[in-house]
Amino acid sequence: MNFNRSESGLYLPSPPPKTVDEIAREQRQAYYDAHRRCPRCGSNQIERTTVGYIVPPDENRATCGCGWTGIVHDLVEDAQDSPEDSE
């Protein structure tokens, strides 16, 4: 087992290596996080189809309440000053 020296000076066991499934899940989540909001109005109230595209771009249809339509790949990530609307 490998040990990493922490900021406190203690040697702590390093976390186990990630599995392929975990990495894939993180990448899907990262892609999802980067494509959450309408590029026109910034809303995250997006209706989207759920075809399982394995690799980007995600070409599921996305429709916003403001009338914008496109694909999930066209959506934008959360901005710092985004309105706090519910999911």
Compose the 25-54 pattern: x for residues touching Zn ion by CB under 5 A, - for all others: -------------x-xx-x-----------
CB 65 within 8 A of CB 58: no
Residue 69 binds to Zn ion (criterion: CB under 5 A): no
* Of 64 and 72, CB closest to Zn ion: 64
Is the peptide bond prior to 57 cis by the omega test (within 30 degrees of 0)?
yes
Task: Give whichever of 22 and 47 is closer to Zn ion, judged by the CB atom.
Answer: 47
Give the CA distances from residue 9 to residues 5, 15, 24, 51, in Å, rounded to whole numbers and listed in that order.
Answer: 6, 17, 33, 48
Which of residues 30 and 66 has its CB atom nearest to Zn ion in the complex?
66
